[in-house]
Amino acid sequence: MQGSGQPHHRPFTEGNSPDALCASREQKAQLVKEFTDSLVRILGKKPEQTHIVIQEIDPQDWGFRGLLSDEPED
């Protein structure tokens, strides 16, 4: 709680996978629902205070091990 001397923590989770295909709208809706349900069930969070952002990154805009993700590995 703010003002109680205790830090106020907001859960933040980020997951990225440049190799994955883009999710459909239906899949995104399912992810948002199930992730929200998990936060409510496990952490006691309120759904109306839960915001989820799905960010899809094009493989040419992602680097890993010194290469862009759309470059073949040797």
CA distance 17 to 69: 10
- pLDDT for the residue numbered 37: 96
- Counting other chains too, the contacts that 38-44 makes at CB distance below 8 Å and 24 or more residues apart are 39/11, 43/11
- Does any domain span residue 33? yes
Radius of gyration (C-alpha) of the chain in whole angstroms: 17
- Does any domain span residue 15? no
Ranges of the chain whose pLDDT falls below 70: 1-21
Full residue range of the structural domain in which residue 43 is found: 27-55
Query: Given the structure tokens 């470059």, which residue do they identify?
Result: 71
- Does any domain span residue 35? yes
- Does any domain span residue 51? yes
- How far, in whole angstroms, is CA 34 from its chain's centroid? 12
- Does any domain span residue 12? no
- pLDDT for the residue numbered 34: 95
Count of the separate structural domains present in the chain: 1
CA distance 22 to 36: 20
- Does any domain span residue 39? yes
